[in-house]
């Protein structure tokens, strides 16, 4: 279907002063400021229930005893679930604040405590540090919120980290995971699928942006063969059930489609939720784009239903 009308107007508005400067032409700090400016919006009187979620910042220890922040969201209606949430932003951008609204929504809709992990980011901390921090975050969640149904969740780069944590948990049997929520995950560091797709540029995220992210996250190309990075070629058997969401006008759409298919081929229960007319990052647009909000609600409803049957 065509690009959503509101998103089309948003893209036009962003280009009023000319094409947006590519990420690789900005410093990392400039890129982070731009990402925050786009993602953080004033919270007015909420009508979606997210104002009933209470929030507290906590500390956890990474594997090297570095203290990491996490933000814990507790819903008014608690259904005995917990979510370790890993934010997106290409392993370089994004933080607890940029994904605050999304985590509130997950907590409220699922009746789950949500633990948003402030993992260290590239380029200051390249692979495997963000993954190790994410594993430490999942362990902390499992220890502190014992006996709850535990979901690993993330959007974009955070979805790739969540899948990497699931692989580690499977192989080391140290964190019981009931399900995964993977929102438009990057799983092919070669970017062959993204480059061959029809939406490689012009829709908020470009293939060149992704190449920049990978250059900072995994500068050693040999490390890109690590199954926790080259996820599309990893052994995915034995993983917990997953909801995989994709967006039609996203260069990563074909990767997400291929991931859902491979998970299913390797015996993993999958619910694939496509995003017709939507772009990468739509889960953060709940307050701006009605079509994005509706699709986000559907994604969470699919996860809710999956958890009810576990």
Does residue 309 carry a catalytic annotation?
no
Evaluate whether 291 touches 278 at the Cβ level (below 8 Å). Answer: yes
Q: Which position has the token pair 């990893």?
A: 234
Active site residue 250: yes
Q: Which of 194, 154, 125 is nearest to 303 (CA)?
A: 154
As given in the structure block, the two tokens for residue 49 are 């229930």
DSSP class per residue in 164-223: HHHHHHHHH--S---EEEEES----TT-HHHHHSTTSSSBSB-HHHHHHHHHHH--SGGG
Indicate the burial class of 37 (C-beta count within 10 angstroms; 0-12, 13-18, 19 or more): exposed
Report the distance separating Cα 310 and Cα 108, nearest Å. Answer: 20
48 is an active site residue: no
Distance CA 235, CA 220 (A): 22
Quote the CA–CA distance of 152 and 38 in Å, as a whole number. 25
Whose tokens are 């690009």? That residue is: 3
Please pick, among 31, 116, 142, 156, the residue that the annotation labels catalytic: 156
Residue with tokens 């963000």: 130
Q: From the candidates 118, 250, 272, 286, which is the catalytic residue?
A: 250
Given 127, 168, 213, 280, the catalytic residue? 280
Asked if 272 and 306 count as a contact pair (C-beta separation under 8 A), the reply is no
Q: Which residues are catalytic?
A: 156, 250, 280
């Amino acid at each position: 279907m065509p690009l959503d009308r509101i998103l089309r107007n948003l893209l036009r508005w962003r280009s009023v002063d000319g094409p947006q400067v590519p990420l690789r032409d900005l410093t990392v700090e400039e890129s982070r400021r731009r990402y925050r400016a786009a993602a953080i919006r004033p919270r007015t009187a909420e009508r979606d229930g997210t104002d009933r979620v209470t929030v507290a910042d906590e500390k956890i220890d990474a594997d090297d005893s570095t203290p990491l922040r996490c933000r814990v969201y507790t819903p008014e209606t608690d259904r005995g679930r917990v979510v370790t949430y890993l934010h997106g932003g290409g392993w370089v951008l994004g933080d607890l604040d940029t994904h605050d609204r999304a985590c509130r929504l997950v907590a409220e809709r699922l009746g789950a405590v949500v633990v948003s992990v402030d993992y260290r980011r590239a380029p200051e901390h390249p692979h495997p540090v963000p993954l190790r921090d994410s594993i430490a975050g999942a362990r902390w969640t499992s220890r502190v919120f014992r006996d709850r149904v535990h979901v690993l969740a993330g959007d974009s780069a955070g979805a790739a980290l969540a899948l990497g944590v699931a692989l580690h948990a499977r192989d080391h049997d140290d964190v019981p995971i009931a399900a995964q929520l993977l929102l438009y995950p990057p799983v092919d560091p070669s970017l062959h699928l993204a480059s061959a797709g029809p939406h490689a540029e012009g829709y908020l995220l470009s293939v060149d942006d992704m190449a920049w992210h990978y250059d900072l996250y995994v500068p050693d190309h040999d490390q890109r063969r690590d199954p926790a990075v080259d996820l599309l070629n990893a052994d995915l058997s034995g993983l917990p059930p997953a909801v995989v969401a994709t967006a039609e006008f996203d260069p990563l759409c074909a990767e997400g489609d291929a991931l859902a298919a491979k998970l299913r081929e390797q015996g993993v229960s999958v619910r694939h939720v496509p995003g017709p007319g939507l772009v990468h990052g739509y889960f953060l647009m709940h307050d701006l784009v009605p079509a994005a909000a509706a699709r986000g609600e559907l994604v969470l409803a699919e996860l809710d239903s999956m958890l009810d049957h576990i």
